[in-house]
Structure 1
Amino acid sequence: MSAKDLDTETSILHGQFSLLLENLSIGVFTVDVERRITSFNETVQRLTGLKEDEVIGKKCYEVFFSDLCHGQCMYSEAVKASGKPLAFDIEIQDESGGRRHITKLVSPILSSDGKVTGCIEILQDSSAYSELLDRIRYDEHRLKLILDNLDIGVFTVNRGGHITSFNSMAETITGYQRQEIVGQHHAKLTGCDRPGETCSLAESISSGKTLANLHRRLCTKDGRNLPIRANFMALRNEAGNTIGGLETFQDLSLIQQLNRAISNKYTFADMIGKDGVMQQIFEILPVVADSEANVLVEGPTGTGKDLLAKIIHNASRRKDKPFVKVNCAALPDNLLESEMFGYVKGAFTGADRDKPGRFQEANGGSIFLDEIGDMPLSLQAKLLRVLEDKEFYPLGGRELCRVDVRIIAATNQIVEELVREKRFREDLFYRLNVMRLELPPLKERRGDLPLLISNFLKKYNITKGAAASRIAEDAMEILLNYQYPGNIRELENIIEHACVLCQGEVIERRHLPLYVQTISGHRGGETIFRPDVVEARDQRERELIVEVFKEHRW
């Protein structure tokens, strides 16, 4: 090819290249090896405020060394980079005098034999993106300020369940810092990966429904399971597509502690009774409370064993320490041990953290073992060691745990019979039976009934705002003659039932439960049923059924 043909072809290629540059929405200019500007498209003219005829043929560093190049030769940097494009974020002044954020790409132009023949520089106006990023950062900062000033915990997750934000109150409640929990799966907090656990957050995300005021548990960094009240909702983008979820939660542990503190502040004045057996208990109760001896409380269900245990604790030197109750009959054998003595991480499937037991929680205070007669023999040996040595091994643990607790046990069974039947360890019985208190059934202390009835009536006047202040004679006769197989607890329930139904000042027979209304008297330990009362009740029920049929035209 002749030199003339080469010049012609080069001229054609240059024209095509210039036409291509003019139709680009990005700014492009080129320089040769002498760093003279050889092309300068319309977009770069608009971005820089310079005209093509003003810059073509001039050295690039003479045109915008201090602005576009920021005092640094991009050409030299690109050549040093062995032909790799370089990217720079810069700020320039446009033709209107405003400032623009520019992303600048610089790449050398190589000939067919690999020699540098010039350089191409591409300018992309990123002002809109920068403004958007600034706005997003501002909105995020404002949202963070709002969330961090809420008095409830808040965290968000993506569709995969991984935490994306975590406010300050969530840090305070859980003990986790946001930098260590963001990116983790929310199951680390909610424990919903454990067998049998339901995941309300996942349910809300999948269904799109908001779940409100649910009582749940939250796993803290130190291994505690906090009671919380939580709300769950799905998060959607502008298109309405679900992009994740949000959980807000309130720590209920303090509220529960306050409720327990209020309910547990029972004193000697809360035990009511003029009966001789009760008076004997009242006489020795201060001495029992002041000692450190273990206490065994016996009595039928509903006689007030729980109340007596709380009074003993509140009158003791341990009153400012925890009072922890364990119902030995409420849990299956395989769970009772871990509930009482705790477990270590890895003790069984799902034990992903250490969990203290009730004995650790009661350290320094008192532990109330209700229904002790139902405790399995396998656990009785472990309890005996706690009584003797004040130490035990948590489930799966190898390190002894020492505790200082006073044990108050209660049962509605006769422990001596359990010992004879080999269902209760004799040595454990003697350890517990240091101080023994026996509460009689209510039918054996009938002289206390008027006092108890009056006390419960006053209680519901105060706590429930009941209007009733006295009881009609026929209703009182029924109450005094009833046998109360459920003891004091049943009596209290009957009075509460009557207070709910009674809208006036006087509780009448009709306000009592139907099964109690049939009682007329007591003779020789037998409950006497009055046929006329039963017939009247049945007649009233028939009338009500007929009225319903008529109302619905049956």
Structure 2
Amino acid sequence: MRGTAWVSDYPLFTAFWNVITAALKRKPTLRKERHSFLNYLLFGLQRNFRVTTQEHTLRDRNTTNPKHQIIKGIAYEQKNGILTDQWLELLDELNIGAFTVNLQRSITSMNYAAQALMGLDENEVEGKDCREIFTGVPCLVDCLLRENSGCQTDEPDVEIKDENDRKHILTRLATPIYDPNQNVAGCLTLLQDHSPIVDLIDKIHYEERSNKSILDNLDVGMFTVDRGGHITFFNNEAERISGYSRRELLGKHFTEIFEEDAMQDSYQLKESIDNGSTRSSHHGKITTKDGETIPVRANYMALKNKKNTIVGGLTTFHDLTLIHQLKQAISGRYTFHDMVGKDPTMQQIFEKVSVIAETDATVIIEGATGTGKDLLAKIIHSTSKRVGKPFVKVNCAALPDNLLESEMFGYVKGAFTGADRDKPGRFSEADGGSIFLDEIGDLPLSLQAKLLRVLEDKEFYPLGSRRIKKVDIRIITATNRGLESLVEKKLFREDLYYRLNVFKIELPALKDRRIDLPILIRHILRRLCTASDNRPARISEEAMELLLKFHYPGNVRELENILEHALIICRDDVIRPKHFPDYMQHLDAPSEPETLSSPITGGETDNAEKQHILKVLRQNNWQRSKTAQVLEMDRTTLWRKMKRHGINR
């Protein structure tokens, strides 16, 4: 009956097998490459080499003693004449040098690999004492045969030179060969030329070191992960940005440094690995070892092996901290607390406010509706030494005349019908802080005299009281009507006007500061998105063009309303013209109406504007306030145009 037997059933193989496994067991600190080679050798023999036998007697199913199997195997080999040659040929196939000796130390066989390695021919050495042939090479056989110990031995790797004077590193292993009676009959010595393996490993190590050196010298952070997202490589720049050393992160999940909620990094990298795709220029954040959040721009891609199988992912990232700092620095030049503007007029206003905020000087803020008078008043208070004290606002146009006095100055119990208790007024509430009188031009003349006394003496009588109330307040006023013209029309007390007009600030209309529109739009959008807890929205080119060309009769307040309307209507992250109010969508051409405040081009038109301004100035006796009213522009705009056209009285 024909059968198939593993080579481990043969005694010569057993000797071969024993010498390798013994070396592995005795040398736990064996060099990595040598240990790997030996394991590979065992695996290859087990998996790939079989011999065909005529009888199925090599494996006695009723015999469990491995020695009996070995004895039967030896007997079978001797009977069929396949003792040594077949095994030496097998070792030739593995490029392993081997020779055998008998008890007299005479060489009985030597395979081609050993002959090539030693530079000897088998005919030259057969029958000779192995100690004569291998002069200069420590012979392991002597110990085995002399002591007849039956133990496998191995020595450290040694170097030899062949006939061409080439250097070889040999791994040498020896083991006894037993006869059927389990007596030592000879010895098998293996000679493995380790030089090609060492050269290959050195080459791999060199290439690996070279690649790592290149990656470590890149000015971009880089790390690789396996399919599970665990970090397998972390370069020097990644260490610098994150503050972690590669030893701390190798084997850990990459989300330990990337913030998942910042830009859903885990999804980006996971999708790249799952789909084999590349994702570029995604903005995210890294949490450093110190807990600091670093803005980064990251790229993701899948890593594939030679078989085009995805084995992991690669992430590169740039530190955007400096870019963000530069942006903030640039933005800071055009930002004054919650107000933004790079228009020269706004820059001058910011400088003035920085100076007057440190004083208690009374301030008048003039400007059209929606230009930000309320906001500027709050900024003046919040940047003054009175910050932390009350800031009280009174809208003089919103209260009826018969209630305005009691609201502003308060009253005592019994002052009028229904006054069943004392009530402090707004001035009392603002004691120690600032009071903001909005629409001061609508204050009745009867109250203007009382306000004048507060300005002069810092005291007043509450309604129905004979006791003076002293207050320490700063007065800030605002109006969308020119107080000078109201004084001329006897609608505002001249003495009060001059008491209030210590420092005047004129806020320009939005149509006169178009250079500020882009940064205003970004600033307002960012504030609205933050307040509503929405993702930052982008504006399409068409929508931005429409916003830049619209004339904004309601000034900044109208711009805020338009953007808030768009954010409510918009269901994605991009604002388009369709998201704006109807009155903007129905414009035939989103262009600014033709007004004298619009930019003028062309010599004839420029001269016509100059002549028109001169005419109106003469009609109003060169009074700029009246002239600006007639021309429907701010005094600042009029002054700028007069300067541009060289108009002097």
TM-score of the aligned structures, taking structure 2 as reference length: 0.44
Q: CA RMSD in A?
A: 5.6
Distance 1:304 1:179, change over 3 A: farther
Q: Distance in 1 between matches of 2:433 and 2:157?
A: 83
Match of 2:253?
A: 185
Counterparts of 1:265 and 1:247 in 2: how far apart (Å)? 35
* Match of residue 511, structure 1, among 573, 584, 590: 590
1:259 matched to 2:340? The reply is no
CA contact (8 A) 2:110 2:122 kept: yes
When residues 139 and 193 of structure 1 are mapped into structure 2, their CA distance, relative to the original with a 3 A threshold, is farther
Could you say which residue in structure 2 is the equivalent of 1:83?
Answer: 151
| 1:174 equivalent among 242, 253, 260 | 242
Please report how far the alpha carbon of residue 170 of structure 1 lies from its aligned counterpart in structure 2 after TM superposition: 0.6
| Maintained 8 Å contact 1:103/1:125 | yes
Shift of 1:213: 0.6
What are the equivalent positions in structure 2 for 1:141-180 lying under 5 Å apart? Answer: 141-180=209-248
How many residue pairs align between the two structures? 362
CA contact (8 A) 1:309 1:408 kept: no
Q: Which residue of 1 aligns with 2:136?
A: 66
1:218 pairs, out of 279, 283, 286, with 286
CA shift in 2, pair 1:182/1:485, >3 Å: closer
DSSP 3-state at the match of 2:296: strand
Deviations 1:458-485 (A, max 9, x none): 7879x99xxxxxxxxxx99x948x2347
Task: Report matched runs for 1:214-363 at 5 Å.
Answer: 214-266=282-334, 285-286=354-355, 288=357, 303=372
Q: Find the counterpart in structure 1 of residue 512 from structure 2.
A: 454
SS of the equivalent of 1:261 reads helix
> What is the SS of the residue equivalent to 1:155?
strand
Separation in 2 of the partners of 1:410 and 1:303? Answer: 17
1:28-75 Cα distance to aligned partner (Å, 9 max, x none): 1123455443321122112221112333344434433534x4xx7476
Q: What is the alpha-carbon distance in structure 1 between the residues aligned to residue 129 and residue 104 of structure 2?
A: 8
Report the AA paired with residue 98 of structure 1: R
Contact 1:88 1:105 in 2 (8 A): no
Q: Does 1:486 align with 2:557?
A: yes
Residue 42 (str. 1) matches residue 112 (str. 2): yes
Q: Aligned partners of 1:305 and 1:257: how far apart in 2?
A: 30
Q: How much does 1:176 deviate?
A: 1.3
Residue-by-residue CA offset, 1:390-422 (whole Å, 9 max, x unaligned): xxxxxxxxxxxxxxxx999999999xxxxxxxx
Mapped contact 1:205–1:242 kept (Cα < 8 A): yes
The Cα shift of 1:173 comes to: 0.6
Cα offset for 1:205?
Answer: 0.7
Question: CA separation in 2, counterparts of 1:408 and 1:87?
Answer: 89
Q: Which runs of 5+ in 1 are unaligned?
A: 1-7, 292-299, 318-405, 415-431, 465-474, 499-507, 515-554
Q: Compared with structure 1, are the counterparts of its residues 219 and 410 closer, same or farther at alpha carbon in structure 2 (3 Å cutoff)?
A: farther
Match of 2:167 among 96, 99, 107: 99
Q: Is the 8 A contact 1:29 1:44 kept in 2?
A: yes
Task: Write the distance in 1 (CA, Å) between the matches of 2:173 and 2:375.
Answer: 79
**How far apart are the structure 1 equivalents of 2:197 and 2:371?**
72
8 Å CA contact 2:153, 2:173 repeated in 1: yes
1:208 pairs with 2:276: yes
Q: Which SS does the other structure have where 1:16 is aligned?
A: coil
Give the AA of the match of 1:511. Answer: P
Relative to structure 1, the CA distance from residue 164 to residue 50 in structure 2 (aligned partners, 3 Å threshold; closer, same or farther) is same
Q: Give the Cα–Cα distance (whole angstroms) in 1 for the partners of residues 352 and 377 of structure 2.
A: 13
User: C-alpha distance in 2, partners of 1:258/1:65?
Assistant: 77
Q: Give the 3-state SS of the residue equivalent to 1:50 in structure 2.
A: coil
Residue identity opposite 1:246 in structure 2: L
How far apart are residue 160 of structure 1 and its match? Answer: 2.6
- Matched to 1:454, the amino acid is D
Residues 306/164 of structure 1: CA separation in 2 closer, same or farther (3 Å cut) = farther
Q: Secondary structure at the match of 2:84?
A: helix
- AA of the residue aligned to 1:303: G
Moved more, 55-64 or 22-31: 55-64
Q: In the TM superposition, what whole-angstrom CA distance separates every residue of 1:277-306 from its partner, at most 9, and x where no partner exists?
A: x98x98774365699xxxxxxxx9983999
SS in 1 for 2:257: helix
CA separation in 2, counterparts of 1:220 and 1:63? Answer: 66
- Offset, 1:261: 2.0
Cα distance in 2, alignment partners of residues 155 and 232 from structure 1: 10
Q: 1:235–1:246: 8 Å Cα contact kept in structure 2?
A: yes
- d(CA) in 2 for partners of 1:228 and 1:410? 41
Identify the residue that residue 334 of structure 1 maps to in structure 2.
Answer: none
**Residue 131 and residue 197 in structure 1: after superposition, are their counterparts in 2 closer, same or farther (change >3 A)?**
closer
Q: Does 1:17 align with 2:83?
A: yes
Q: 2: CA distance between counterparts of 1:91 and 1:413?
A: 99
Aligned match of 2:101: 31
Report how far residue 190 of structure 1 moved. Answer: 2.4
Q: Distance in 2 between matches of 1:306 and 1:59?
A: 107
Corresponding letter in the other structure for 1:243: V
Partner SS state of residue 272, structure 2: helix
Give 1:3's aligned residue: none
CA contact (8 A) 1:36 1:58 kept: yes
Which stretch of the first structure deviates more once superposed, 181-190 or 115-124?
115-124
Aligned partners of 1:32 and 1:409: how far apart in 2? 110
Tell me how far 1:221 sits from its aligned partner.
Answer: 1.8
In the TM superposition, what is the alpha-carbon distance from 1:454 to its structure 2 partner?
A: 3.1
Find the aligned partners of 2:391 and 2:129 in 1 and give their Cα distance. 99
Residues 407-438 of structure 1, C-alpha deviations (whole Å, 9 max, x = no match)? 99999999xxxxxxxxxxxxxxxxx9986586
Instruction: State the shift of 1:180 in Å.
Output: 2.3
Question: Is the 2:304–2:312 Cα contact (8 Å) retained in structure 1?
Answer: yes
Identity of aligned residues (%): 33
Instruction: Tell me the secondary structure at the aligned position of residue 269 of structure 2.
Output: helix
**Alignment partners' CA distance in 2, 1:106 and 1:289:** 96
Unaligned 5+ residue runs, structure 2?
1-73, 361-368, 396-429, 440-477, 483-505, 523-547, 565-575, 578-586, 594-649
Q: In 2, Cα distance between the equivalents of 1:130 and 1:409?
A: 82
Instruction: Report if the CA contact (8 A) 1:75-1:119 is conserved.
Output: no
Q: Match for residue 295 of structure 1?
A: none
What's the CA shift for 1:185?
Answer: 2.2
Report the residue type matching 2:115 in the other structure. Q
**Aligned with 2:513: secondary structure?**
helix
The structural deviation recorded for 1:247 is 0.5
Would you say the 8 A contact 2:269–2:301 is kept in 1? yes
2: distance between equivalents of 1:234 and 1:106? Answer: 48
8 Å Cα contact 1:155-1:248 kept in structure 2: yes
The separation in 2 between residues aligned to 1:30 and 1:439, in whole angstroms, is 113
Larger Cα-atom Rg = 2
TM-score, structure 1 as length reference: 0.51
CA distance in structure 1 between the partners assigned to 2:162 and 2:281 by the alignment: 56
Compute the displacement of 1:140 (Å).
Answer: 1.2
Contact 1:211/1:232 (8 A) holds in 2? yes
Quick one: which amino acid aligns to residue 121 of structure 1? T
CA distance in 2, matches of 1:169, 1:212: 19
Aligned residue in 2 for 1:137: 205
1:393 is aligned to none
What is the DSSP-based 3-state SS (H/G/I as helix, E as strand, rest coil) of the residue aligned with 2:252?
Answer: coil
Judged with a 3 Å threshold, the aligned counterparts in structure 2 of structure 1 residues 257 and 458 are, in CA distance, closer, same or farther, namely closer
Equivalent position amino acid for 1:158 in 2: D
